[in-house]
């Protein structure tokens, strides 16, 4: 049987991670879980979010028995990873802002003269919660000391990504929302998409600001999953390449019994047949 991976987010954002995992490891069965009852996470206080994420994830792991859990949410990962790893007996992969990658790329493109902050100017675009986390401060201190890092917390962008996936509504207002931050006082060369919702709008961001390199964590996460579930890669990737019918199945779960996430289900079905859709009881 194919190994299965549970991919968790508050809303549609984790689909950006799921897409990368599906591309690299099509044989894996992927269970997508969105905690849409508690969406958005980016405005929730830590003392509310920690027990919520722990509860939903532990119950889901018990119910679905995946081989690995991806917390496809920067807001949740930067807060709950140690506790989740302590409570669960399967590997837990977290998604955190790709500051290390962006800082290294920015240093390469700007060169490294001996002047102050030789690594250039990079941006971190994330939820209001993520930009203020100690975890984020530490990432910047450890990996981007040579850069100037500007931060921007946006809930609007999270909602625009939801509207894009759910209603295919184009995000009007992107330019007014971000341009001043992106350009002043010095134009940013690289911007970390530190919320999994934002890569879903990457095409629009690239089109509006083609000179900026938009950096996300999706690819690195898919590689990490391949490292952690190696036996499944070697035994089935070839078979899958020859016969796509061997692709792992896709399933969709959510927490709000009043809100079926039709947009997420439609998105998943573009990647393959969705074999099960259900509310996940959390009590």
* Region of 38-46, 79-87, 163-171, 205-213 interacting with ligand DGL (CB under 6 A): 38-46
DSSP code of residue 187 = -
Contacts of 158 (CB under 8 A, 6+ apart): 11, 13, 40, 42, 127, 195, 197, 198
Report, in angstroms and rounded to the nearest whole number, the Rg of the chain calculated over CA atoms. Answer: 19
Per CB under 6 A, does 192 bind ligand DGL? no
Using CB under 6 A, pick the residue from 136, 154, 196, 232 that binds ligand DGL: 196
Nearest-angstrom CA–CA distance, 114 and 119: 10
Task: For the CB of residue 18, give the shortest distance to ligand DGL in the complex, in Å.
Answer: 12
- Reference 279, options 109, 76, 58, 36; nearest CA is 36
Using CB under 6 A, pick the residue from 15, 27, 30, 41 that binds ligand DGL: 41
Per CB under 6 A, does 160 bind ligand DGL? no
* Region of 134-142, 194-202, 240-248, 250-258 interacting with ligand DGL (CB under 6 A): 194-202
Number of other residues whose CB lies within 10 A of the CB of residue 74: 34
Residues paired with residue 124 on neighbouring β-strands, in sequence order = 151, 192
Using CB under 6 A, pick the residue from 13, 120, 153, 218 that binds ligand DGL: 13
Using CB under 6 A, pick the residue from 2, 3, 4, 10 that binds ligand DGL: 10
Binding site for ligand DGL (CB under 6 A): 9-11, 13, 39-42, 73-75, 127, 130, 158, 195-197
């Amino acid at each position: 049987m194919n190994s299965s991976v549970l991919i968790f987010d508050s809303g549609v954002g984790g689909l950006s991670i799921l897409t990368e995992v599906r591309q690299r490891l099509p044989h894996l069965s992927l269970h997508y879980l969105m905690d849409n009852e508690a969406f958005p996470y980016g405005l929730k206080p830590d003392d509310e979010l920690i027990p919520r994420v722990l509860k939903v994830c532990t119950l889901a792991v018990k119910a679905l028995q995946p081989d690995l859990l991806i917390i496809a949410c920067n807001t949740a990962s930067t807060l709950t990873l140690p506790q989740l790893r302590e409570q669960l007996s399967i590997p837990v992969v977290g998604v955190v802002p790709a500051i290390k990658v962006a800082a290294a790329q920015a240093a390469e493109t700007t060169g490294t003269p001996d002047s102050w902050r030789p690594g250039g100017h990079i941006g971190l675009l994330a939820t209001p919660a993520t930009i203020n986390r100690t975890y984020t401060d530490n990432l910047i201190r450890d990996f981007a000391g040579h850069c100037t890092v500007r931060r921007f917390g946006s809930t609007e962008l999270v909602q625009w990504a939801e509207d894009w996936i759910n209603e295919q509504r184009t995000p009007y207002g992107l330019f007014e929302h971000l341009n001043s931050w992106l350009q002043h006082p010095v134009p940013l060369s690289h911007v970390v998409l530190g919320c999994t919702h934002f890569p879903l709008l990457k095409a629009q961001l690239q089109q509006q600001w083609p000179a900026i390199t938009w950096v996300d964590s999706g690819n690195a996460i898919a590689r990490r999953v391949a490292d952690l579930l190696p036996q499944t890669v070697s035994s089935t990737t070839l078979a899958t390449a020859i016969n796509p019918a061997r692709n792992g199945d896709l399933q969709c779960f959510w927490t709000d019994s009043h809100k079926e996430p039709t947009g997420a289900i439609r998105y998943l079905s573009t990647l393959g047949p969705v074999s099960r859709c259900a509310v996940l009881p959390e009590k």
